[in-house]
Amino acid sequence: MSEQDLVFTNLFAFPPSKSPELLNPLVLAYIGDAVYEVFIRQYVISGANHRPNHLHRASTGYVSAKAQSKLLTALMPMLTEAEVDIVKRGRNAKSGTTAKNAEVLEYRHSTAFECLIGYLYYKQAFERLKEILNFAIAFDPKQQ
């Protein structure tokens, strides 16, 4: 195990109480939202403009329900059968809340995307997770 892996393991040392396959999809979406948000924040901070307003606007372009919905649509052909199953579970989960700035279908698709991210995170499928997250920053939802 590399030193970086050891630090990561010690920093995030609270595994879920169940295997990822058995977790409620909304629980996976809950952690997936946080993982995706941190990734995007790190990405926008890696750029030159560090004004808080710019950082917020740049991040919102990636983490909004609308952007995540479009991203998921672009990702679908690249997903494995197991990943598609997780996406379907996330899409069909009834959260009891609604999005402020998105249509119902966009909100469900963004929840499905976050569910996938949470699943990969808890499966410790970090190479696959990184592949999908890198696709997310290369993807331009405005062109879709």
Q: List the catalytic residues.
A: 33
Cα–Cα distance, 30 to 45 (Å, whole number) = 23
Cα–Cα distance, 37 to 59 (Å, whole number) = 8
Q: What is the CA radius of gyration of the chain?
A: 15
CB 112 within 8 Å of CB 132: no
